[in-house]
Chain A
């Protein structure tokens, strides 16, 4: 393979002038191999970039499909759609006002309930809990974020609604004298219950992000505050809450995004009356719940278009909120400001002017630093002892308060697990439960027992659709994540920045919208598969893609730059550094990301109720309507039949167990990687 030596060595190696220096040793086939490798490198680069671009494509697809399909409704009603208060399929008059009002009210009230508790939890976990308790408690709070919304909804319907109906709401009415905002009949299925369920669901999100923001404040600040004599509470206020402000705000806004888009749990308890709520006890609807409840029942036409327009409003709102949240969390906005709070202080006004006068008075005190004996100083010293006791009491109050918040935050999870275990435990330990089709609905009578049946087809459907989704989502997410981390470094790659941002924002888009878009696309291009395992699998895949992408990107980004540089220094081409060195050392983080995506998809209901179609039987073909675990629960949560009810609880418990094992597996994979700041 040795060819005549060219004047310049290949690969741009400098020419060695003069014949005295021997030419560098050449390896057989090197030239061709180098060219081939270069082409491979370009190919890999393009392939990875294509995956990243595909993510942008999904965003564009979502927006454009919804916009096109909302067209007829928009043409018919125009801007008046926003203020219309009826949903009348018979006369074809549709308006969004009740859904918008319900969405905004439930979300904002839920935030108002959740924020103080979440902050308390974050403070307890970050500042107060003893070191050995931090990790397990944090884990439990994080777990409550992983409970699927259909399970929360089921729990709320069975446990929370009766309590609301029989005691909480009548009590509140008694306190409010039966008047506003607690007028009306306490049904339990209303705006107020939905608000509480939402608060329970967004609490762990806000708590987790706030906790991270608190932990991220430098230790030097804490110690500075302590050195000024600050108690733990004062240290938290002075050195932790202040600097973490924008991170906490980001967590709150992210929670708002979740609340706005939460579909299934709300649809199960809000009462689903499409009217502008007049009281907290009004049964109502939200944008998402109205779509979830009606989309499957309407055929193509104006009503479907109106529902899609609701979806478009929901998408716009959640995108906006998520963009804002990300900007806050990533510290693009809300950077440090003085306590002038927006008032620009220019020149010697404000504090400066006053202080100069003070300085004038103090002019005789030499800056050599004689310890003065101003009267206030003596007074402060004298009052120190009394104040210290008060400050200690305040500190104790804080500890008790934040601990109370933690208990409040963990209680729903405990109740969910307990309820599911009691009501579904018997089904879960019965092997027949996993291999039987859904039973004939029945209630036990004296002398006759009911067949329990099972959720075999639902498990099968969920697994098949998760598999289909993974085929789509894992490679796409993986490649896109590698591209974002390895080719988008140093911020010079604008495409990567945009994709990364949108992938993150995508994780906050309500999945019902993904389901609607997939359904509409199939309806348009592949009518027969609109309600099928294929359609459901695609929807789940789209739910997973952004999660896997971002998780991969984050996992790769924590690989130290020195490792990359070492590999580059050995002459590795970029694609090999990315694929072998970096991906290799971040393997466990990447797998965790995939698990996270699977977990979210397995627990998702909203995308499946409009795509999978549902079925009580084993799957015969991918092209037919398919059962799945979450739609099974959603379809039977209010059933009057004992055996179906028990199956639904069994299914809920199975879901919880799946979530738990995925989360444990993820913990196990990353156990070494999170020594955390405690170890510092």
Chain B
């Protein structure tokens, strides 16, 4: 990796109340690549992801220490709104705003940024829908409620909603775990495509999925980063015994 990383995490500790869930995690997130974070339930992989756009600290009693940088700038020193606009997030369960149309769902973030002109909104919405691979399916009726779409379409709508802000990093927390295999295929193809222009980080419990989409993979266990490396290397020649055990299905 010759380029400097898009984001760099150093010595990240995180707590929920008195319970520590992350221990001294350090990880570099390269630009224009898809990274997968794998590990058994409760290993802190979602918490790690939520630290990257400072969503973690929104929960009562939750806190984190350590340094996270975005393009070399400290995340904590930056404005929260700026952080969230530059680091987008997609959740496990598709959550379009139920009272808004497809159009307004995608435009929501732009409106927050103060985009008012109709042509600018239009351009942003169309581009985001195209990038999310949803445009062809919804172009006939973008005024339908976002919730009228199928599950997989809703998830891609949420991806479009995040992409409309032109983020630099896209975080995805188990984006396919609530989807059927066909929708999963579509979203995975989309992730691979997005990885060419964004820094994408995907949390997944699906090892095959990590194998399919990720350029590099990080394995978390009990709140610690056990191993990180190119996906093929990590899966075929894991350095750590723990990783090997997990990948070969001996626990998890």
Contact = CB atoms under 8 A, between A and B. Distances in A.
Interface of A: 130-131, 218, 220-221, 223-231, 234, 238-239, 242-243, 245, 336-340, 345, 347-348, 350-352, 354-356, 358-359, 362, 365, 367-372, 374, 376-377, 380, 383-385, 387-388, 391, 678
B109 A229 contact: yes
Contacts of A350: 143
B100 A340 contact: no
15 contacts: A225-B108, A228-B161, A229-B112, A243-B97, A245-B99, A339-B101, A348-B139, A351-B142, A358-B123, A359-B130, A369-B196, A371-B166, A371-B197, A377-B166, A384-B113
A228 B108 CA distance: 8
B82 A367 contact: no
Interface string B194-224: 1011100000000000000000000000000
Interface residues of B, number: 65
Contact of A370 (B84, B120, B197): B197
A229 B85 contact: yes
A400 B38 CA distance: 44
A121 B99 CA distance: 23
A348 B109 CA distance: 24
Given A227-B88, A229-B85, A354-B122, A362 B130 contact: yes
Contacts of A351: 101, 103, 122, 142-143
Contacts of B143: 338-340, 345, 350-352
Contacts of A230: 84, 112
A218 B82 contact: no
Contacts of A348: 139-140
Given A223-B95, A384-B85, 12 more contacts: A218-B95, A220-B91, A224-B95, A224-B161, A229-B81, A238-B112, A338-B143, A339-B99, A359-B130, A359-B139, A387-B114, A388-B82
B28 to A, nearest CB: 21
B104 interface: yes
B186 interface: no
Contacts of A377: 166
Interface in B82-119: 82-85, 88-89, 91-93, 95, 97-101, 103-104, 108-110, 112-115, 117-119
Interface stretch (B52-60, B65-73, B227-235, B238-246): B52-60
B123 A374 contact: yes
A352 B127 contact: no
- Which of A224, A231, A239, A374 has the largest count of B CB atoms less than 10 A from its CB? A224
A623 to B, nearest CB: 59
B99 A336 contact: yes
Given A339-B100, A351-B143, A376-B120, A388 B130 contact: no
B236 interface: no
Nearest to B190: A369
B135 interface: yes
A433 to B, nearest CB: 46
- Which of A230, A354, A356, A367 has the largest count of B CB atoms less than 10 A from its CB? A367
B81 A367 contact: no
Nearest to A376: B120
B151 interface: no
A537 B174 CA distance: 60
A377 B128 CA distance: 13
B152 interface: no
Contact of A359 (B126, B133, B165, B197): B126
Contact of B101 (A234, A338, A367, A678): A338
B141 interface: yes
Contact of A224 (B81, B97, B142): B97
In order of increasing CB-CB distance, the 10 nearest A-B pairs are: A229-B84, A338-B101, A242-B99, A220-B95, A227-B89, A228-B109, A345-B143, A131-B60, A376-B120, A229-B85
A678 B60 CA distance: 8
Contacts of A365: 127, 130
A385 B114 CA distance: 11
Contact of B165 (A220, A228, A243): A228
B111 to A, nearest CB: 9
B200 to A, nearest CB: 11
A371 B124 CA distance: 12
B98 A352 contact: no
A358 B97 CA distance: 24
B193 interface: yes
Contacts of A231: 81
A223 B55 contact: yes
A380 B167 CA distance: 13
Given A227-B55, A352-B143, A355-B139, A367 B114 contact: no
A367 B124 CA distance: 13
Contacts of B166: 371-372, 377
A221 B95 contact: yes
A480 B61 CA distance: 43
B169 to A, nearest CB: 11
A493 to B, nearest CB: 30
A229 B101 contact: no
Contacts of B10: none
B147 interface: yes
B173 to A, nearest CB: 9
A373 B36 CA distance: 28
Given A229-B81, A365-B130, A367-B133, A352 B142 contact: yes
Nearest to B141: A352
A110 to B, nearest CB: 28
Contacts of A234: 112
Contacts of B55: 223, 226-227
B145 interface: yes
B84 A376 contact: no
B176 interface: no
B196 A224 contact: no
Nearest to B165: A228
A229 B130 contact: no
B144 A338 contact: yes
Given A218-B95, A380-B115, A345 B141 contact: yes
B237 to A, nearest CB: 32
Contacts of B89: 223-224, 227
Given A228-B108, A388-B79, A369 B194 contact: yes
Contacts of A228: 84-85, 88, 108-109, 112, 161-162, 165
B99 A356 contact: no
Contacts of A354: 118, 122
A347 to B, nearest CB: 7
A358 B126 contact: yes
A356 B85 contact: no
A384 B114 CA distance: 9
B158 interface: yes
Nearest to A337: B145
B34 interface: no
Contacts of A131: 60-61
B115 A242 contact: no
A282 B82 CA distance: 56
Contacts of B198: 369, 371
A243 B98 contact: yes
Contacts of A368: 193, 196-197
A370 B122 CA distance: 18
